[in-house]
Structure 1
Amino acid sequence: MAQSRDGGNPFADPGELDNPFQDPAVIQHRPSPQYATLDVYNPFETREPPPAHEASAPTPLPPASAPSLQPSRKLSPTEPKNYGSYSTQASAAAATAELLKKQEELNRKAEELDRRERELQHAALGGTATRRNNWPPLPSFCPVQPCFFQDICMEIPQEFQKTVSTMYYLWMCSTLALLLNFLACLASFCVNGSGTDFGLSILWILLFTPCSFVCWYRPMYKAFRSDSSFNFFVFFFIFFAQDVLFVLQTIGIPGWGFSGWISALVVLKANTAVAVLMLLVALLFTGIAVLGIVMLKRIHSLYRRTGASFQKAQQEFAAGVFSNPAVRTAAASAAAGAAENAFRGP
């Protein structure tokens, strides 16, 4: 019992040590500075202990530009996919919206063309809904009513609408030039007292304004509307004379009623203000003459591409003459009179 008080082993034999950890077999395997850790201890081996553990040098990190050798990471089912940057998606959405807008515009144009085509077919078949003349645009209280129907967007094919519109603006500019020419001649009459140019300017504005519309603009309009070779020939013949007249207006021979370059230079010696007005009119006449020559050449090139010919113009003229009720009545009366005279004899 005294040994148990001293901390000994009461169950040990008399020849054994009181402390089992003092056994030489255990002491020789205690940790020592030769061992870095206890991981290398194996009590079942009796060989010499391995050398002390030495820390290996750290492995250098790969450069930043080196590609990663790890396999690509798979996205989880709940992780959203990256379809591009925000700017790319925004540009794609804008392009889609633009395409939808163009598609809607094309659909509206197609519906409008279908409606106009039905109206033209209805009018060609002699429908009851006749068009009302809309040109010149006069107020309803005016005793004179419009004489022509004109709708470039509806009656003229789309590839010729720009050409017809340009010719219409050319006619309007020529009318405006004649009006300014009248004012310039009036101012010159007030300064010089010569009434020849003033009187002729009144005649030209009253004569050329309606005649130019009827004689060359309307044939051109009908030629593009119905692809008429006869109207093309009428337009070329009359508009060539109109271009010659534009050149004469630009020159401005004194006594002809045109405020061209020569007339403006003559008046410059008498009154500078009137000369400036006449020079402006001469400049407008010059622009109209140049545009008229350009448009004549352009329409001629379009005419050659339409397949029109002189033989076709002759056929259209003959068909138009014989389809006229007045001409047929006159021809029938002449034939009847000739037959009656033949039966009567001498």
Structure 2
Amino acid sequence: MSEFDNNPFAQPVNDNPFNDPSVTQVTHSSVETVDQYNPFPGQSTDALAAHTTPASTSPYQPAVLQPSIEPSPQATAAAAQANLLRQQEELERKAAELDRREQELQSRGPTGKENNWPPLPRKFPIKPCFYQDFSEEIPPEYQRVCKMMYYLWMFNCVTLFLNLLACLAYFTTDAAYGVDFGLSILWVILFSPCSFLCWYRPVYKAFKTDSSFSFFFFFFVFFCQVVIFIIQAVGIPKWGNSGWITAFTALGGSNKAVGAIMITVAILFTACAVLSAVLLKMVHSMYRRTGASFQKAQQEFSQGVFTNKTFQSAATGAASSAAQGAFQGNN
């Protein structure tokens, strides 16, 4: 009802525009005006330092463009030379490694295993030439006979050495028997390695690979060896053997001790002859059970010859020489 109490015909009130509440609020506010604002207040710099934001410690550095510098010809040549030297050192190192592996393969032989015979020290200048292992390479049914052949070869070498000593003792008593001493040295040097290569290794290979050709080669050579054992046991004078004849001749002389030594050697030669004959018969009986034959030996020999690189090279050279000769003859 207050609206009806006002007098519409009363004197109008003089409106003051500055009496507006929004204006009076701004004029009476504590906010400093623009002309009174001081950008440098009189406060302590410690407070500002406390509220100062530290600089960024990012690990990334701004990219800096380096000026492009062309290398000089001397620097380029030096770098190329250093690269060539490095490559040459690398090639020499690889070549040395290949040589070392090739020597290892050669020392292992065709079996691919390291040779172990003769059993020499590692620092010895001469390396083993053969690989030998009865339990690995020889079948069980042949191992006993093969070992007996090996022991016979060693027994023969010992007998030849004792024969040398006996002939030396005989030579000291009578200078006329210097021929026997010289021949005894020759027999030791000749028969020891030749018997190993000519009849022991063939029978070892025959038992290992069941090779008919190796069996036939062994029979031929070992039969000759049996004959040689018999001749050595007989002891023909001036043949370099302390057999029975030479031993009894020395025993009938003045020095009985030399005669006794030579009789001992004659007994050893006789034992070699008997054992060799027995082993020859045993090997022959085993050979017959293996099914080997002369035709099979011929086939193995022909295959071995035709696959031999030396034979192939010689055949190729002979064929080329014949072809060149025929061509020149036609011209």
1:285 to 250, 264, 269: 269
Counterpart amino acid of residue 205 in structure 2: K
1:219 to 167, 182, 202: 202
Q: Unaligned stretches of 5+ in structure 2?
A: 1-104
1:321 to 305, 313, 319: 305
What does 1:90-105 align with in structure 2 at a 5 Å threshold? none
Counterpart amino acid of residue 321 in structure 1: V
1:249 to 207, 232, 257: 232
Measured against aligned partners, the alpha-carbon deviations of 1:251-286 in whole angstroms (never above 9, x if no partner) come to: 001110000111010001221101111111111111
Aligned Cα root-mean-square deviation (Å): 1.7
Alignment match, 1:206: 189
Rounded Cα–Cα distance in structure 2 between residues aligned with 1:141 and 1:186 = 33
Q: Unaligned stretches of 5+ in structure 1?
A: 1-122
Alignment match, 1:158: 140
Rounded Cα–Cα distance in structure 1 between residues aligned with 2:182 and 2:273 = 23
Rounded Cα–Cα distance in structure 1 between residues aligned with 2:240 and 2:124 = 31
How far does residue 343 in structure 1 lie from its aligned partner after superposition? Answer: 2.5
Matched, 1:336 2:320: yes
What does 1:1-346 align with in structure 2 at a 5 Å threshold? 130-193=112-175, 194-270=177-253, 271-346=255-330
SS of residue paired to 1:146: coil
Rounded Cα–Cα distance in structure 2 between residues aligned with 1:339 and 1:249 = 53
Counterpart amino acid of residue 324 in structure 1: N
How far does residue 141 in structure 1 lie from its aligned partner after superposition? Answer: 1.8
How far does residue 327 in structure 1 lie from its aligned partner after superposition? Answer: 1.0
TM-score where L is the length of structure 2? 0.65
How far does residue 329 in structure 1 lie from its aligned partner after superposition? Answer: 1.3
Counterpart amino acid of residue 253 in structure 1: I
Counterpart amino acid of residue 213 in structure 1: F
Which aligned runs of 4 or more in structure 1 are off by greater than 4 angstroms? none
Rounded Cα–Cα distance in structure 1 between residues aligned with 2:257 and 2:123 = 40
SS of residue paired to 2:161: helix
Distance 1:129 1:269, change over 3 A: closer
SS of residue paired to 1:143: coil
TM-score where L is the length of structure 1? 0.62
How far does residue 170 in structure 1 lie from its aligned partner after superposition? Answer: 0.3
Measured against aligned partners, the alpha-carbon deviations of 1:231-255 in whole angstroms (never above 9, x if no partner) come to: 1111000000000000001100111
Rounded Cα–Cα distance in structure 2 between residues aligned with 1:162 and 1:209 = 22
SS of residue paired to 2:299: helix
Distance 1:233 1:273, change over 3 A: same
Q: Quick check: 128-137 or 208-217, which moved more?
A: 128-137
Measured against aligned partners, the alpha-carbon deviations of 1:153-180 in whole angstroms (never above 9, x if no partner) come to: 1100000000000000000000000000
Rounded Cα–Cα distance in structure 1 between residues aligned with 2:328 and 2:242 = 65
Q: Quick check: 139-148 or 156-165, which moved more?
A: 139-148
Rounded Cα–Cα distance in structure 2 between residues aligned with 1:233 and 1:129 = 23
Distance 1:207 1:136, change over 3 A: same
Counterpart amino acid of residue 275 in structure 2: L
Counterpart amino acid of residue 246 in structure 1: F
Rounded Cα–Cα distance in structure 1 between residues aligned with 2:229 and 2:111 = 41
Measured against aligned partners, the alpha-carbon deviations of 1:176-222 in whole angstroms (never above 9, x if no partner) come to: 00000000001000111220110000000000000000000000100
Taking only the aligned residue pairs, the percentage that are identical comes to 58
Rounded Cα–Cα distance in structure 2 between residues aligned with 1:235 and 1:174 = 17
Counterpart amino acid of residue 338 in structure 1: A
Rounded Cα–Cα distance in structure 2 between residues aligned with 1:323 and 1:227 = 19
How far does residue 130 in structure 1 lie from its aligned partner after superposition? Answer: 2.8
Measured against aligned partners, the alpha-carbon deviations of 1:113-166 in whole angstroms (never above 9, x if no partner) come to: xxxxxxxxxx9xxxx993111111111121111111111111000000000000
Distance 1:187 1:290, change over 3 A: same
User: Which structure: greater helix fraction?
Assistant: 2
SS of residue paired to 1:195: helix
Rounded Cα–Cα distance in structure 2 between residues aligned with 1:344 and 1:198 = 59
Measured against aligned partners, the alpha-carbon deviations of 1:91-129 in whole angstroms (never above 9, x if no partner) come to: xxxxxxxxxxxxxxxxxxxxxxxxxxxxxxxx9xxxx99
How far does residue 290 in structure 1 lie from its aligned partner after superposition? Answer: 0.4
Rounded Cα–Cα distance in structure 2 between residues aligned with 1:243 and 1:285 = 11
